[in-house]
Amino acid sequence: MKYPEAMQAIATEKALSFLGLTARKNGSYLNFPCIDCGNESAIRYYGERKNVAYCSTCKAGTNIIAMAVKLKGIDFQEAKKLLVEKTATTEETIQEKLSLKYELEFTIDMEKEGLSKELCDTVGVGRPKGKTMLSGCIAFTIHNETGLKVAYYGIRISDRRPKFHQSFNPELYLFAYHVADKNEEVLVTTDMFSCLRHLAQGEQAICNFGLPYLSSRQMELLSPFPYITFEWLFTDKKDIMLNVAQNLKAYHRFV
């Protein structure tokens, strides 16, 4: 894999953890201890400058591969290959129907989120019964754009962190996309629960799994809609607004 492709393929958070560095999300960056001075440094985890880092103490830029070179004592080609192998997310959409079937329960936690039992039962959202990979999570049934059930996506109740199988790359899908009428107005939200609340109101709503960006695949999926309202629950909206303006023809607004 060439350098630019590798920089896009390497999953930043996984790569930092693989290199033994603790990371904390901070808007469009991950903060982690600089490998030279130990002070807080920042790395982009998506977009054009994905995996490019900067330390304001050292006043120096670096990138995830160069960091692996230093920390692992290997050469650049080896480091690039290693990080891609260890962290790259799949770029292939799932083509087979998921055979796994959870029995999903509507719980008090879900009621507290203002969710409707009827809607959750209809779209396949709930707490999986028994011991599963998504124990302690609210599980969302995920379909591809043609309506084929491809995965479960979990949100852990205790800390709201996402949990899902590695064969599922959220960048390649949009939640509730298959049921939306592409000729009508749609709301795109970054909050899975908000998406369910809007759907329960009879509105068309889609969620991008809480990512602070839209991948090129997600942008492509949104292209048929004539009117899109973005409920973008991140403070920094500059990048996404620019990206949407450049890539979507739809009338759109941010709320």
Contacts with Zn ion, residue ranges (CB under 5 A): 34, 36-37, 55, 57-58
Distance, CA of 5 to CA of 170 (rounded, Å):
19
First to last CA, the chain: 39
Both tokens of 228, joined, read 């899109």
Q: Is 58 exposed, middle or buried (0-12, 13-18, 19+ CB in 10 A)?
A: middle
Give the up-direction half-sphere exposure of residue 142: CA atoms within 13 A in the CB hemisphere. Answer: 29
> Whose Cβ is closer to Zn ion: residue 57's or residue 77's?
57
Residue 13, φ and ψ in degrees, nearest 5: -65, -45
**Least distance from Zn ion to the Cβ atom of residue 81, Å:** 26
Residue length of the chain: 255
**Least distance from Zn ion to the Cβ atom of residue 168, Å:** 35
Cα dihedral 98, 101, 102, 105 sign: positive
> Whose Cβ is closer to Zn ion: residue 35's or residue 176's?
35
**Least distance from Zn ion to the Cβ atom of residue 57, Å:** 4
Whether 188 and 215 have beta carbons less than 8 Å apart is answered as no
**Least distance from Zn ion to the Cβ atom of residue 37, Å:** 3
Helix (H, G, I), strand (E, B) or coil at 17: helix
User: Which H or E run includes 21?
Assistant: none
> Whose Cβ is closer to Zn ion: residue 43's or residue 244's?
43
**Least distance from Zn ion to the Cβ atom of residue 27, Å:** 20
> Whose Cβ is closer to Zn ion: residue 21's or residue 58's?
58
> Whose Cβ is closer to Zn ion: residue 35's or residue 172's?
35
Q: Is 207 left (phi over 0), alpha (psi -120 to 50) or beta?
A: beta
> Whose Cβ is closer to Zn ion: residue 36's or residue 231's?
36
**Least distance from Zn ion to the Cβ atom of residue 51, Å:** 17
